[in-house]
Amino acid sequence: MVLANIALAFGPWFVRLADVGPVAAAFWRITLAAPLIVAMAAATGGRPRGVTPGVLLWAAFAGVAFAGDLATWHLGIVRTTLANATLFGNVATLIFPIYGFVVARALPNRAQAVALVLATAGGALLMGRSYQADPRHLAGDLLSLVAGILYAIYFIAMARARAAMAPLPTLALSSLASILPLLLFSTLLGERIVPGQWGALIGLALASQVLGQGLMIYALGRLSPLVVGIALLIQPGVAAAIGWLAYGERLALPDLAGALLVAAALVLVRRAS
């Protein structure tokens, strides 16, 4: 879990280092990683057999939602601090339980309600600070927040597909379904797609999609929700350190306060679940 979060935290840095557009970087993240994921799915013998078209549609829809998540998140990464992009990109941890409340037609318990209040307060403080530092940072925060919402939709669709399919085939199908939307979106934005240097894109694919997601999937079934929630805080911490060392993105006291409020919310909602 620790290694997964460290690997995932390096993703935004690789996006900035890439010499293609941010959405094109997302396209290459999936395209370069997909053959490895498909090969792993085939090696485990978990080929998607005997599943209904509805299940396949859920996996494809998950891929489209993930494409939207990556596109908006990568656009946000280049417009705000690495720490804020990572924090807001993880709000799916809060949104997914809200979906559970809606489905169950139940109100959140006390810990979950406190988590939502803390997240709202911390997010508002971070966005206010971003706007004061640079109005463009606010746009990056909002894009990262939209990415977090789309990531929650991805979780929901993957959960529906996972009800009938094994993890790796589901991940392989959803990854393949996200490639074309990302290519079309980056083309519509007029981004540079073909890189001059491949190092950052290969690092992004291996660190975020193969190593980070792979280790995360392995660890999720073996750790408690509280441990997972606390471990998630490694990502914004590492991202903040990278932003400070590489780009001079220093956090002031109000920034730290807002980040701690959101971090506390992430831990609380995981513990409450």
Model pTM score: 0.83
HEC string for 69-88: HHHHHHHHHCCCCHHHHHHH
CA distances from 169 to 48, 156, 176 (A): 6, 17, 11
The residue with greater pLDDT, 40 or 35, is 35
Residues 235-248, mean pLDDT to the nearest whole number? 87
Mind listing the pLDDT tens digit for each residue in 173-186?
999 999 999 999 99
Give the per-residue pLDDT at 138: 87
Give the per-residue pLDDT at 270: 64
Mind listing the pLDDT tens digit for each residue in 126-172?
777 776 667 778 899 899 999 988 988 888 888 788 778 887 888 88
Band (273; pLDDT cuts 50, 70, 90): low
The rounded distance, in Å, linking the Cα atoms of 124 and 127 is: 5
203: its two tokens:
């690092």
Please, what is the average pLDDT of the chain?
Answer: 84
Give the per-residue pLDDT at 201: 97
Mind listing the pLDDT tens digit for each residue in 100-133?
666 656 666 777 778 778 877 887 777 777 766 6
Give the per-residue pLDDT at 184: 97
Nearest by Cα to 166 from 273, 5, 63, 40: 40
